[in-house]
Chain A
Amino acid sequence: MTTTTGTEVTDAIVASPRAWVAIVAIGAITYGIRLSFIHLFGRIDGVPDGVRRPLRYVPPAVLAALVLPDLVTLGPSVAATLVDERLIAGLVAGAVAWRTENVFATIAVGMIVLWLLRFVAFA
């Protein structure tokens, strides 16, 4: 993979320089985010308590913020919001995740419920 910057656009990629500029910029920013504390903590000692305490709540808060908007879209009414194949499939999959803590089972049940609703019930 050639590393390409916005100023070194070659013939091979001239078809979509926009895409390459975006890819390289996002990649650089994302790597900086990933490296940030992993790099810094080699120099400074320990994690300040003010950083450590909130970190405990990052996984549930971020994961929920990633998941819920994919399951729920606020509709014009309560019924329109709740009668949604994604929400129903997600609730069933959430119950499976809670009872089994098994990723395979969670995905399999969630997809099967989605397909049943989409191709059978709501068809």
Chain B
Amino acid sequence: MDGTSAASDGDTTDTVDRGDAADTGPAGADDGLLGLDGDIAAGVRDVSPLMLGIVPFALVAGIAAVDAGLGLAEAVGMSVIVFAGASQLAALDLLGADAPLAVVVGTAAVINLRMLMYSASIAPYFADYGRRLRAGLAYLLTDQAYALSVAEFGTNSDRSRWRYYLGAAASLWIVWQVGTVAGVVVGTGVPDSWGLTFAVPLVFLALLVPAMKDRPTTAAGVVGGAVAVVAAGLPLNLGLLAGALCGIAAGLATEVTTA
């Protein structure tokens, strides 16, 4: 999960790609899925198990938008323009409660600050690509696309990185938009008592457990989670940020003491 290897070594096949759809490029060892390029197909394939968590998440985003008094256009507009589930749900909750705009925007921004770290972590793998391609790839950056891609880049240097990432990230985008629309249409059809939103922490849990692979990363997770629970009452959702920063500090401290 560490973005230590620079993108400049090896992997010369995709250093000049500009993201043209017509570019057939070097197919990987994988057989094409739906006629897709092998590396794109690999991203689509690897992300597909995560969709079971994304679909209810997207449905909930649509349902929450209706609950907050938003129409279909606003709900889809939010999913397209923001495209970050946790911040969308928090913003919808605050919009529905008539919170000041600064609080709505500030809370969502704080929740999405974690992607600053993802951006820095994945950036070395995209450093050789052109500006426009990088600008497009950045728009699709999510927890799931980041976690899958960095894990794949770290173990498989033969991949066309942007194609694999695009396969995973664009699949998430499509499912997110379709799920949002379905959530708005279905509206309150699914009873609240089913607790569909519980699938959201379960998705993050399934990503968290493999991320705690040694003592320092485990310390980061344990401390990060514990601090977030204790600080859950802080305004502006600062509990998440406090937990994350304390967890990172715990990981670094453990790394120093065990070295």
Contacts and interface: CB of A to CB of B under 8 A. Distances in A.
A97 B112 contact: no
B76 A1 contact: yes
A53 B252 CA distance: 8
Interface in A71-123: 71-74, 86, 89-90, 93-94, 97-98, 101-104, 106-108, 110-111, 114-115, 118
B222 to A, nearest CB: 7
A19 B121 CA distance: 32
Of A29, A31, A39, A57, chain B has the most CB atoms within 10 Å of the CB of A57
A31 B138 CA distance: 7
Interface in B1-31: 1-4, 6
Interface string B218-237: 10111111111110100000
A109 B203 CA distance: 12
B contacts with A: majority SS: helix
Interface of B: 1-4, 6, 49-50, 52-53, 68-71, 73-74, 76-78, 80-84, 86-87, 91, 95, 101, 104-105, 108-109, 112-124, 126-127, 129, 131, 134-135, 137-139, 141, 143, 147, 193-195, 198-212, 216-218, 220-230, 232, 239-241, 243-248, 250-252, 255
A36 B138 CA distance: 9
Nearest to B253: A57
B248 A58 contact: yes
A25 B105 contact: yes
Contact of A56 (B1, B223, B241): B1
Nearest to B198: A114
